[in-house]
A and B are shown apart, each in its own frame.
Chain A
Amino acid sequence: MTFILILISLVLIAIVAVQIGKVSDLTSKIRGEEEVQEINNKKQGLYSFIFLFVFLGGVIVSGAYYQNYFLGFGPHIPASAHGGELDSMFKVTLLLTGIVFIITHILLFYFSFKYSGRRNKRAAYVSHDNKLELIWTGIPAVVMAFLVIKGLDAWNDVMADVSPDEEYMEIEATGYQFAWMLRYPGPDGLIGEKNFRLIDGTNPLGQNWEDTKNLDDIHVDELVLPVGKKVRVRITSRDVLHNFYLPHFRVKMDAVPGMPTYFVFTPTVTTEEYRQQLKDYDEYNIPVNPDDPESPLLWEDFNFELACAELCGKGHFSMRKIVRIVSQEEYDAWISGQASYYDAVIKGTDSDPYKNSEL
């Protein structure tokens, strides 16, 4: 039934459309093609000019309305040490492209309006202007050179791996369909070896228990990190491509099966501090559940999140883990409360190579 209705309305629209076309053809026959064309040129030129204002106005108003979602604006501040570099790159680029956007659009639609065709007018024969062309080749070249240099400066800084003499902690994130597994090194600070052939029901990462570095490794459900401490995330995948994405920390890196990747960053804001700054913004002062005014406000409920940003199959949109940034003391308390995976699950089972020996 719906289908027939849609079909009928489509046919009706078609008939109306065809009739509109016919009527305008008729007008041009009565009034003369040239006159009709000139009236039309005036009209369309004017519409172009109106569009200019509507469009630029819409861009500016909507941009102002959503400004709190721009990088580095409002509450959308980075929660990592390097995030500021990205955000300032973003702002500089926004400023420069914004200027070009506005100027070119004004010229484009103003010229359309100003030079809309008239019967008694002629266009000027202007085929080129070497000086002008040199200028508008040169200026973009200089601006681009500036953006390349500034951008690469930030990039090489952000992407630099840790140096051996630096103090940092290393953790591992492994993507699989469709979740993240997080592994912490334990007291020795070292992550143990793993081999995908060792993966089974009780050993989801394929840790090699003969490697003693593995024995104190911890599996956790939340990514908890101490504020101000440099962390190197070793990013791996068990099956297809995933992407380790921490939007608030400006961190993103593919997880590639067979090729561990990494991202180094330093959290600078605790979850609690971030919530406090969100408190000042109206859009975070609404209940989490709009139907239940008693539910916590958005800022109270806020959490940093880990997501997947590389299509990995039908559950791609659901690979969420909570990220908690806490003070060093809280972190120490939390990590000391976690049992190593070996102790909790493997020890004493058939998978345990030390089952019959003293360790």
Chain B
Amino acid sequence: MENAVIQEPQISENDLIEKNGFDDHFHDHHHGDKFQSNFITTYIFSQDHKMIGKQFLITGMFWAIIGALMSLVFRLQLGFPEESLAWLKPVLGKWIVVNDAGIGTLAPEFYYALVTMHGTILVFFVLTAGLSGTFSNLLIPLQVGARDMASPLLNMLSYWFFFLAGVIMFVSLFVNTGPFAGGWTAYPPLSALPMASSGSGTGMTLWVLSLVFFVVSVLLGGINYITTVLNLRTKGMSMWRLPLTIWAFFITAIIGLLSFPVLVSAFLLVMFDRGLGTSFFLSEIFIGGQALDHVGGSPVLYQHLFWFLGHPEVYIIILPAMGIVSEVLSVHSRKPIFGYKAMVFSILAIAFLSFIVWAHHMFMSGVNPFISNIFVLFTLIIAVPSAVKVFNWIATLYKGNIRFNPASLFGIGFVSMFISGGLTGIFLGNSAIDIQMHDTYFVVAHFHIVMGVAAFFGMFAGIYHWFPKMYGRFMSDTLGKVHFWGTMIGAYAVFWPMHYIGMAGVPRRYYRFDAFGTFSHFTELNQFITIAAIVTFGFQLLFVINFFYSIWYGKKLTTKNPWKATTLEWTTPIDTGHGNWPGKLPAVERWAYDYSKNEGSDFTPQIVPLSEAEKADASHH
């Protein structure tokens, strides 16, 4: 593929940009580049979108490792409850209780803290900031043909608010009463009352504080993404010529902007209930030997507010992955994405529906059963645009000339995961089945596959695909493929058996299963899952090694466009500087998916003007 140098179009891309491009006199104004003049402004308080993207990515990787290690600890508890965990005492301290015989057990309150933190960290810090933050930052300016984000300053602040949120969350892991342990959904009254759970004291206060800063980060980033996509598209880049990545990031940012503030309002009211004696979510509670003064509140109200964000949040996680996979599959199949417009409309449909399905998390919460009718209807309708997307991805591979590498493999793996996890959503979205399935391991299997593993696969596809753009070097192909197959098999080995456990009725968030005859049938299966989780984690270390090694020692890029892709980011120099293009901004002449269309080269970059033959063909894009 690196022989691409020889096959590049007759007119060089630089000449095309100079000939047709748009001169914004950027470099007349930015002599000396004050934004990247020293170490601090280049690597720390950077205002360059590419560097901010890398910051989001590496911070996200840090949190992914922390979150995964937490899951290994609680998986050890679930798979091997009788084994001593005394060896973890040096790390976990008082949360490992060692008895006289030297057997160490994980304290139940810390088990719940680990489960809570695992969920919070993975959902918000890794799959929101690490995924959307990374790729929106890296790709939006590069793919729409902009010098940078609309507001580089807000963009920088967006990262540092995320960083601050992370610091606070990290600190909360070490407080004396333990981190918050009431589940990532933080339902009151459990989350509101320190006497209900030791983690609901300082731990909860820090948890809320951290997430409020996190929301600030998301909003600052989101405003920027939306503005940039709407206002800074280069000459010729109409909305219908945007790559699907950009559509996905754009719609994701809109969803975030509309839903995250509602989460903050829910958190604010919880804090009022905790600190100011209000009763938004609390009523008629007797706890710790006393009757509380709160009356008239409703815990169900919190759930409405929470899931008004919480449900769109899962699309905030999965849409960017969908966008990345659409792009990656198209580039590496050497084919246009099948049904581009249908893909855009299905993103819009999913985004719209995501706001009116939130109560499907609450079928069994005591809301009027009549209300559930509406939410079942809208929930199952989401299956339609989702199915359209799956069929379109499969059709994109059809008659392709697929170049297999870690990026395209993870793209294909994503489709498999999205199918497997999406289909179980059809069980859960139907309230009648949800009576039995709600809050069992079936749900754990469902959401881990469909938004956990699938989103990770989208992220990996994106990292392997755009790593050359980020660092000017390739990640090792061989290690990437080993990473893929290990993760593909490993992830299914971890999560597929959970369907069976869930169907048998085993509830999630149980510290042990042996209190109940009904739930204690799966000792071997739980051991299997734990071992599979440890092995799968090992394969992720392979990725981390590959990533950091390749930053400094990976194979160097010899050409600007190693994948022979059509989109604008590959017209920038290998070592892309601030402002992205050394001269004029490129002008866009066509949509992003002209693969294998014209004679000769099997791709036609967006900057190449339409040929006479193409102009004659009325059906062109």
- Residues of B contacting A218 with CB < 8 Å? none
Of B156-164, B350-358, B513-521, the stretch lying at the interface with chain A is: B513-521
Take A90-B427, A199-B286, A259-B298 as given contacts and tell me if A152 and B365 are in contact as well, using a CB distance cutoff of 8 Å.
no
**Any chain A CB within 8 A of the CB of B62?**
no
Q: Which of B297, B342, B380 contacts A128 (CB 8 A)?
A: B342
Interface SS, A side: helix
**Any chain B CB within 8 A of the CB of A140?**
yes
Q: Which of B388, B505, B517, B542 contacts A303 (CB 8 A)?
A: B517
CB pair B439–A25 under 8 Å, yes or no, is no
CB pair A257–B285 under 8 Å, yes or no, is yes
User: How many Å lie between the Cα of A216 and that of B112 in the bound state?
Assistant: 40
Q: B80: shortest Cβ distance to chain A, in Å?
A: 16
A85-102 residues with Cβ-Cβ distance < 8 A to B are 85-86, 89-90, 93-94, 96-97, 100-101
User: How many Å lie between the Cα of A124 and that of B196 in the bound state?
Assistant: 62
Q: B139: shortest Cβ distance to chain A, in Å?
A: 22
Take A37-B1, A258-B284 as given contacts and tell me if A240 and B193 are in contact as well, using a CB distance cutoff of 8 Å.
yes
**Any chain B CB within 8 A of the CB of A162?**
no
**Any chain A CB within 8 A of the CB of B19?**
no
User: How many Å lie between the Cα of A253 and that of B368 in the bound state?
Assistant: 12
- Residues of B contacting A14 with CB < 8 Å? 545, 549
A88-126 CB mask vs B (1 if < 8 Å, else 0) is 011001101100110011011101100111100111111
- Residues of A contacting B190 with CB < 8 Å? 240-241, 311-313
Q: B400: shortest Cβ distance to chain A, in Å?
A: 5
- Residues of A contacting B342 with CB < 8 Å? 128, 133, 137
B402-424 residues with Cβ-Cβ distance < 8 A to A are 402-405, 409, 412, 415-416, 419-420, 423-424
**Any chain A CB within 8 A of the CB of B300?**
yes
- Residues of B contacting A129 with CB < 8 Å? 338-339, 395
In this complex, the interface size class of chain A, counting residues with CB under 8 Å from chain B, is: 35 or more
CB pair A257–B1 under 8 Å, yes or no, is no
B387-404 CB mask vs A (1 if < 8 Å, else 0) is 110111111011111111
CB pair A148–B377 under 8 Å, yes or no, is yes
User: How many Å lie between the Cα of A18 and that of B190 in the bound state?
Assistant: 48
CB pair A257–B333 under 8 Å, yes or no, is no
Q: B585: shortest Cβ distance to chain A, in Å?
A: 27
Chain B: CB-nearest residue to A310: B439
Of B42-50, B201-209, B216-224, B591-599, the stretch lying at the interface with chain A is: B591-599
CB pair A136–B391 under 8 Å, yes or no, is yes
CB pair A283–B285 under 8 Å, yes or no, is no
Take A24-B477, A34-B1, A307-B507 as given contacts and tell me if A196 and B369 are in contact as well, using a CB distance cutoff of 8 Å.
no
Q: A83: shortest Cβ distance to chain B, in Å?
A: 8
Take A239-B189, A247-B518, A316-B510 as given contacts and tell me if A34 and B3 are in contact as well, using a CB distance cutoff of 8 Å.
yes
Q: Which of A43, A47, A121, A311 contacts B182 (CB 8 A)?
A: A311
**Any chain A CB within 8 A of the CB of B503?**
yes
**Any chain A CB within 8 A of the CB of B527?**
no
- Residues of A contacting B285 with CB < 8 Å? 196, 238-240, 257-258
User: How many Å lie between the Cα of A298 and that of B373 in the bound state?
Assistant: 40
Take A123-B401, A240-B189 as given contacts and tell me if A66 and B291 are in contact as well, using a CB distance cutoff of 8 Å.
no
- Residues of A contacting B403 with CB < 8 Å? 37, 41, 117
User: How many Å lie between the Cα of A256 and that of B555 in the bound state?
Assistant: 59
Q: Which of A58, A177, A310 contacts B196 (CB 8 A)?
A: A177
B468-510 residues with Cβ-Cβ distance < 8 A to A are 476-479, 481-482, 485, 488-489, 492, 496-497, 500-501, 503-505, 507, 509-510
- Residues of A contacting B431 with CB < 8 Å? 151-152, 155
**Any chain B CB within 8 A of the CB of A331?**
no
Chain A: CB-nearest residue to B440: A309
- Residues of A contacting B109 with CB < 8 Å? 313-314
CB pair B412–A311 under 8 Å, yes or no, is no
CB pair A25–B430 under 8 Å, yes or no, is no
**Any chain A CB within 8 A of the CB of B426?**
yes
**Any chain A CB within 8 A of the CB of B578?**
no
- Residues of B contacting A250 with CB < 8 Å? 435-436
**Any chain B CB within 8 A of the CB of A154?**
yes
Chain A: CB-nearest residue to B337: A127
A290-304 CB mask vs B (1 if < 8 Å, else 0) is 000000001001110
User: How many Å lie between the Cα of A269 and that of B345 in the bound state?
Assistant: 50
Q: A254: shortest Cβ distance to chain B, in Å?
A: 5
Q: B356: shortest Cβ distance to chain A, in Å?
A: 15
**Any chain A CB within 8 A of the CB of B181?**
yes
Take A2-B87, A147-B430 as given contacts and tell me if A256 and B300 are in contact as well, using a CB distance cutoff of 8 Å.
yes
Q: A348: shortest Cβ distance to chain B, in Å?
A: 25
CB pair A241–B189 under 8 Å, yes or no, is yes
**Any chain A CB within 8 A of the CB of B272?**
no
CB pair B397–A111 under 8 Å, yes or no, is yes
CB pair A115–B504 under 8 Å, yes or no, is no
Q: Which of B295, B419, B595 contacts A104 (CB 8 A)?
A: B419
- Residues of B contacting A243 with CB < 8 Å? 364, 439
Of A68-76, A220-228, A338-346, the stretch lying at the interface with chain B is: A68-76
CB pair B479–A309 under 8 Å, yes or no, is no
- Residues of A contacting B420 with CB < 8 Å? 101
User: How many Å lie between the Cα of A176 and that of B423 in the bound state?
Assistant: 36
Q: A63: shortest Cβ distance to chain B, in Å?
A: 8
CB pair B287–A144 under 8 Å, yes or no, is no
Q: B407: shortest Cβ distance to chain A, in Å?
A: 12
Q: Which of B295, B338, B340, B511 contacts A316 (CB 8 A)?
A: B511
User: How many Å lie between the Cα of A19 and that of B338 in the bound state?
Assistant: 39
**Any chain B CB within 8 A of the CB of A354?**
no
Q: B191: shortest Cβ distance to chain A, in Å?
A: 9
CB pair A86–B394 under 8 Å, yes or no, is no
- Residues of B contacting A128 with CB < 8 Å? 338-342
Take A127-B338, A141-B384 as given contacts and tell me if A55 and B492 are in contact as well, using a CB distance cutoff of 8 Å.
yes
Q: A61: shortest Cβ distance to chain B, in Å?
A: 12
- Residues of B contacting A45 with CB < 8 Å? 402, 404
Q: B237: shortest Cβ distance to chain A, in Å?
A: 19
A209-262 residues with Cβ-Cβ distance < 8 A to B are 238-241, 243, 245, 247-248, 250-254, 256-259, 261
**Any chain A CB within 8 A of the CB of B197?**
yes
CB pair B299–A93 under 8 Å, yes or no, is no
CB pair A253–B364 under 8 Å, yes or no, is yes
A281-335 residues with Cβ-Cβ distance < 8 A to B are 283, 298, 301-303, 305, 307-318, 320
A166-190 residues with Cβ-Cβ distance < 8 A to B are 176-177
Chain B: CB-nearest residue to A308: B507
**Any chain B CB within 8 A of the CB of A51?**
yes
- Residues of B contacting A124 with CB < 8 Å? 335, 399-400, 596
Q: Which of B187, B387, B546 has the most CB of A within 10 A?
A: B387
CB pair A148–B376 under 8 Å, yes or no, is yes
**Any chain A CB within 8 A of the CB of B236?**
no
Q: B108: shortest Cβ distance to chain A, in Å?
A: 4
CB pair A158–B409 under 8 Å, yes or no, is no
Chain A: CB-nearest residue to B283: A258
Take A144-B384, A148-B376, A320-B515 as given contacts and tell me if A125 and B507 are in contact as well, using a CB distance cutoff of 8 Å.
no
- Please give 5 more A-B residue pairs, beta carbons under 8 A apart, in addition to A247-B436, A313-B190: A44-B481, A128-B339, A240-B193, A252-B436, A259-B366
Across chains A and B, which 4 residue pairs bring their CB atoms closest together, nearest first? A258-B283, A21-B476, A247-B505, A44-B404
> Can you sample 26 A-B contacts with CB below 8 Å?
A18-B545, A21-B478, A24-B476, A33-B2, A41-B404, A55-B416, A62-B496, A69-B500, A112-B402, A118-B401, A125-B597, A126-B399, A128-B340, A128-B341, A129-B339, A160-B369, A245-B507, A248-B518, A251-B435, A256-B365, A258-B284, A258-B298, A259-B366, A307-B507, A315-B108, A317-B515
| A interface list, Cβ under 8 A from B | 2-3, 10, 13-14, 17-18, 20-25, 33-34, 37, 40-41, 43-45, 47-48, 51, 55, 58-59, 62-63, 66, 69-71, 76, 85-86, 89-90, 93-94, 96-97, 100-101, 104-105, 107-109, 111-112, 115-118, 121-129, 132-133, 136-137, 140-141, 144, 147-148, 151-152, 154-156, 158-160, 176-177, 196-197, 199, 206, 238-241, 243, 245, 247-248, 250-254, 256-259, 261, 283, 298, 301-303, 305, 307-318, 320
